[in-house]
Structure 1
Amino acid sequence: MTSKKQILIAAFSGPLMAGLVTGAASAADYAPVYAQPEAPVIVEQAPMPVASGWYLRGDVGHSFDAKGDGSYGVWDEGSGTSTEFDYDEIKLRGNTDFSVGVGYRFNQYLRADATLAYWKRDVFGSSSAFGDTVTFDDTSKASAWEMMANAYIDLVTWGKVTPYIGGGLGFTRVKYGTMKNRSWCNVAGPGCTDYWADHGGLTSTRFTWALMAGMTVDITASTKFDFGYRYSHIKGGKAFGWDASDLAAGASGTQGRDDGFGVHQVRAGLRYEFGGPQAAYQPEPLPVYNEGPAPVYK
Structure 2
Amino acid sequence: MLKPVRLIIAALALGGVSPALAADIYEPPVIEYQPPAPIYQEVGGWYIRGDIDYHWPKLRGTEYITYGCCTPDPGTNRFGETSLKGALSLGAGVGYQINRHFRTDLTGDYWFKSKFTGSTSGSCGGNPCVSVDESDMSALLLLANAYVDLGTYYGVTPYIGAGLGGAHVKWGDLRNTIGVNTDVHKGVSSWRFAYALMAGASYCITQNLQADLGYRYSRIEGGRMFQEYSPSGESIGVGPGFDHGINTHEVRGGLRWTFGGNTNCAPEQVAFQPEPVFQPVYK
Q: TM-score, normalised by structure 1?
A: 0.72
Give the alignment partner of residue 106 of structure 2, picking from 86, 111, 114.
114
1:151-190 to 2 correspondences below 5 Å: 151-183=146-178
For the Cα contact (< 8 Å) 1:116–1:145, is it kept in 2? yes
Q: Name the SS for the 2:72 alignment partner.
A: strand
Query: Which amino acid is 2:72 matched to?
Result: S
Residue 197 of structure 1: CA displacement?
0.5
Q: Give the equivalent residue in structure 1 for 2:252.
A: 267
Q: Give the equivalent residue in structure 1 for 2:192.
A: 206
For the Cα contact (< 8 Å) 1:52–1:274, is it kept in 2? no
Distance 1:200 1:278, change over 3 A: closer
Question: Deviations for 1:218-252, whole angstroms, at most 9, x for unmatched residues?
Answer: 00011000000111111110010123516974979
For the Cα contact (< 8 Å) 1:53–1:279, is it kept in 2? no
Runs of 5+ in structure 1 lacking a partner?
1-35, 185-193, 293-298
Is 1:43 aligned with 2:29?
no
- CA distance in 2 between partners of 1:138 and 1:250 (Å): 19
Is 1:66 aligned with 2:51?
no
- CA distance in 1 between partners of 2:263 and 2:157 (Å): 17
Question: Deviations for 1:181-218, whole angstroms, at most 9, x for unmatched residues?
Answer: 1135xxxxxxxxx7311111111111111111100000
Give the alignment partner of residue 80 of structure 1, picking from 70, 88, 97.
70
Give the alignment partner of residue 262 of structure 2, picking from 277, 288, 297.
277
Query: Which amino acid is 1:93 matched to?
Result: K
Q: Give the equivalent residue in structure 1 for 2:135.
A: 140
- CA distance in 1 between partners of 2:95 and 2:149 (Å): 14
Residue 52 of structure 1: CA displacement?
5.3
Bigger radius of gyration = 1
Segment of structure 1 superposing worse, 221-230 or 236-245: 236-245
Distance 1:246 1:123, change over 3 A: farther
- Count of paired positions: 244
For the Cα contact (< 8 Å) 1:67–1:89, is it kept in 2? no
- CA distance in 1 between partners of 2:234 and 2:196 (Å): 42
Residue 291 of structure 1: CA displacement?
11
Q: Give the equivalent residue in structure 2 for 1:101.
A: 93
Q: Give the equivalent residue in structure 1 for 2:15.
A: none
- CA distance in 1 between partners of 2:266 and 2:146 (Å): 17
Distance 1:41 1:156, change over 3 A: closer
For the Cα contact (< 8 Å) 2:152–2:264, is it kept in 1? no
Is 1:224 aligned with 2:217?
no
Question: Deviations for 1:71-99, whole angstroms, at most 9, x for unmatched residues?
Answer: 012232xx212332011233221000111
Question: Deviations for 1:34-78, whole angstroms, at most 9, x for unmatched residues?
Answer: xx9754142343x445775111001000012524311012232xx
Q: TM-score, normalised by structure 2?
A: 0.75
Question: What is the percentage of aligned positions where both structures have the same residue?
Answer: 35
Q: Give the equivalent residue in structure 1 for 2:219.
A: 233
Give the alignment partner of residue 124 of structure 1, picking from 114, 117, 124.
117
